Amino acid sequence: MAGKYGGEGKTFPSFVDGGKKLYWEVDSETGVAELYERKSPIGSLGVFPIKLGTKKPGEDFEVHDPPFGQNGFFEVFNEQQRKEFLSDANQKKLKDQLTTTVVNGNKGANPDMPDLDARERAEQLLETGKVTIPPDQSEEEAAQQAADRGIDKVNQEAEELINSEAAKARTNTRKGPGSFGDHSYPLDRNQSQDFMKFTLLEYKPKKVGGGASGGGFGFADRARVGPNGTPPGRTILGSVSLPIPGGIKDENGCDWAGNTMDEVAIQAGALARGALGASGEGGAGAAEAIVGRLGDNSDVVKKAIKETFAGKAVGVKNLMTRSTGMIFNPNLELLFDKPVLRGFQFSFDLIPRSKKEAEEVVKIIKFFKQGMAAIRSESNLFLLSPHVFQVHYVLNGDGSKDHPYIGKMKECAMTNFNVDYTPQANYSTLKDGFMTAYKISMQMKELEPIFNDNYDENGSSSTPGVPALIGF
pLDDT in tens, the chain (472 residues): 458 999 988 999 998 887 889 999 999 999 999 999 987 655 445 567 899 999 999 899 999 999 887 889 998 999 999 999 999 999 999 999 999 999 999 888 888 787 777 888 898 899 998 888 776 666 666 566 666 666 667 777 777 777 888 888 888 888 889 999 999 999 998 888 999 999 999 998 887 776 554 456 777 778 788 777 667 778 999 999 999 999 999 999 999 999 998 876 776 676 666 544 444 444 455 556 666 655 555 666 767 776 666 666 665 667 777 777 888 788 899 999 999 999 999 999 999 999 999 999 999 999 999 999 999 998 889 999 999 999 999 988 877 778 888 989 999 999 999 999 999 999 999 988 999 999 999 999 999 999 888 887 554 444 444 445 677 7
Number of residues that make up the chain: 472
Q: Identify the pLDDT of residue 294.
A: 58
> Do 122 and 19 belong together in one domain?
yes
Q: Identify the pLDDT of residue 292.
A: 62
Longest dimension (CA), the chain: 105
Q: Identify the pLDDT of residue 452.
A: 86
> Do 65 and 21 belong together in one domain?
yes
CA atoms within 13 A on the CB side of 364: 28
CA distance 68 to 369: 69
Contact (CB, 8 A) for 210 and 259:
no
> Do 83 and 104 belong together in one domain?
yes
CA distance 453 to 448: 14
Dihedral sign, Cα of residue 277, residue 281, residue 285, residue 289: positive
* Domain count across the chain: 3
Secondary structure of residue 137 in the 3-state scheme: coil
Strand 21-27 and strand 12-13: the pairing is antiparallel
CA distance 407 to 390: 13
Q: Which residue range is the domain that position 14 belongs to?
A: 4-162
CA distance 357 to 348: 15
> Do 221 and 265 belong together in one domain?
no
Give the end of a domain, one of 271, 299, 331.
Answer: 331
CA distance 53 to 73: 7
Q: Identify the pLDDT of residue 436.
A: 95
Please calculate the CA angle 325-328-329 and round it to the nearest 5 degrees: 115
Give the end of a domain, one of 331, 351, 386.
Answer: 331
Bond prior to 186 in cis (omega within 30° of 0): yes
> Do 177 and 321 belong together in one domain?
no
DSSP string computed for 338-382: EE---EEEEEEEE--SSHHHHHHHHHHHHHHHHHTS-EEBTTSS-
- The answer to whether residue 468 sits within a structural domain is no
> Do 272 and 236 belong together in one domain?
no
> Do 13 and 142 belong together in one domain?
yes
Dihedral sign, Cα of residue 232, residue 234, residue 236, residue 240: negative
Give the end of a domain, one of 162, 183, 215.
Answer: 162
